[in-house]
Structure 1
């Protein structure tokens, strides 16, 4: 176990160091260049290279490095199948903090974000999303028995002493603030284990994330005296805010997004998408036919 952990850590450190070099080189090559015309040529370039650089946040079960230093998770595995169908054989993992994924894509650090990123109107202004391949309700990780009885962000807002933890860059902070939770009562954490530990050590009273993420985090700490509240869809300005995960590209790359969406639709129709994602805790309940156009056109919270 110790050796596997060290291997994984060395992989991440090495990949991060290499990523910085890629940023520098790519930034120089992109300076002064505008958007590609006619839907972009990314797919053709990836086919020539035979590989695609995937930005991920090392967040299980969405995209993470396993003990064998291999990129896996629902997003990489779905992407791997689709890219093979599109004639691109290899995925190159580029780790990033979740909150830095969009900026990393913009400077050319990677070709695509594959991290289960939620489609929101504000993000749609910066990147081009594929159609989502899953939907996941929100929930809270709380002490066993849910002593404060919270079930929604409105419940958190109504309790002036409730301290809420969220993941850096994730949508839950926006949902909480839109529901009336002051920013002063919201603490961001870098990853799921940090949020879980914050609840355990009474630094926060609850940690908000998707049910899928929280179940995965708690499965690794089954002895922890914690529980997950029932899942719910946040309501912001009277509208449901669906947490629907998708892949993201630069806004000028409509050709590859169209090709990706076509393959994704075929995976959904055949049931293969669920078969790919099931090992990571996904079920039929998380499958969706929502489109990125629907999610991008919703009013910003």
Structure 2
């Protein structure tokens, strides 16, 4: 998800701790202890990199996560989970690396943290886009994603696309670092009027409290978070317009640019999981459906 520009309006209310913020705090505490008992493998100058061999020797791979449900987070029992960590467990085990270890950080720090070797791989459901492809290399996407809105029950303003939000002058919110910021701006929404909240739980709270008319997020996060709400609902998923054309995002694992060997080995196992249908089985508990399975490639989404 592309980072927002700095003049967007932040939610400055003193928040009730959300599930995401609490879990991210637990994860950060756990990572302090983890840092003392294992080291991130250092960079290699070998063609294709030799990180996979070194990870096999260590028996552990460190995953950069952003504490975001359902992509990568620490649950109430202190266990690393989410669609990306669970997929990582399966693929890295097949690659001869038995243990995965979380390194929580802010979403905007994932790529810098990866390239400064704070962890080995980004496992946070990160969208693949051309700007990021200049900094890291991506595996092929393990899911594709449309957008959706959280609105009041009955959708009283009839909001289904970003153009509706602009036309109806609806009060609009989305999450920190979300790609939806740019989609709204591209549709004509004034970036300074966007309310930025920490995550989809805070977005749901803002809609339920009437502070905004709509919160934009991924289809999987919106439909999951409204399940227990008596006041809000999620709209049907839709593709935002990019350069006037419907755009489908794809999320993937990210690797340091020199580590093409690890990326290629990861892709080989990912393709096997896609062909067998096991990928959907792994992701389904986190709200993913057949509609989110994809044959998109990193090359396509990187624009080259």
Note whether the superposition's TM-score is higher than 0.5: yes
1:215 aligns with 223
- TM-score, reference length from structure 2: 0.86
1:256 aligns with 262
SS at match of 2:226: helix
Distance 1:295 1:10, change over 3 A: closer
Equivalenced residue count is: 284
SS at match of 1:267: helix
Give the drift of 1:61: 1.5
**Counterpart selection for 1:70 from 79, 84, 105:** 79
**Counterpart selection for 1:126 from 122, 130, 135:** 135
Distance 1:237 1:21, change over 3 A: farther
Q: Is the 8 A contact 1:234 1:242 kept in 2?
A: yes
Q: Is the 8 A contact 2:24 2:66 kept in 1?
A: no
Q: Is the 8 A contact 2:125 2:252 kept in 1?
A: yes
Structure 2 residue 192 is the aligned partner of structure 1 residue 184: yes
Give the drift of 1:223: 3.4
Structure 2 residue 239 is the aligned partner of structure 1 residue 229: no
Structure 2 residue 218 is the aligned partner of structure 1 residue 203: no
Distance 1:192 1:151 in 2: 17
Question: Which has a greater percent of helix?
Answer: 1
Q: Is the 8 A contact 1:59 1:192 kept in 2?
A: no
Select between 226-235 and 236-245 the one with higher mean Cα deviation: 236-245
Q: Is the 8 A contact 1:65 1:71 kept in 2?
A: yes
1:95 aligns with 104
Give the drift of 1:10: 6.4
Q: Is the 8 A contact 1:8 1:68 kept in 2?
A: no
Distance 1:192 1:240 in 2: 23
Give deviations 1:27-47, integer Å, cap 9, x for gaps. Answer: xx98xx8x7341212111211
Give unpaired runs (5+ residues) of structure 2. 1-18
Distance 1:293 1:279, change over 3 A: same
Distance 1:46 1:238, change over 3 A: same
- TM-score, reference length from structure 1: 0.87
Q: Is the 8 A contact 2:140 2:296 kept in 1?
A: yes
Give deviations 1:172-215, integer Å, cap 9, x for gaps. Answer: 11111122111112122222211211212222221111110112
**Counterpart selection for 1:85 from 85, 88, 94:** 94
Structure 2 residue 159 is the aligned partner of structure 1 residue 150: yes
SS at match of 1:36: coil
Q: Is the 8 A contact 2:125 2:251 kept in 1?
A: yes
Distance 1:138 1:37, change over 3 A: same
**Counterpart selection for 1:12 from 22, 27, 45:** 27
Give the drift of 1:163: 2.2
Structure 2 residue 296 is the aligned partner of structure 1 residue 290: yes
SS at match of 2:124: strand
Give the drift of 1:281: 1.5
Structure 2 residue 178 is the aligned partner of structure 1 residue 170: yes
Give unpaired runs (5+ residues) of structure 1. none
CA RMSD of aligned residues (A): 2.5
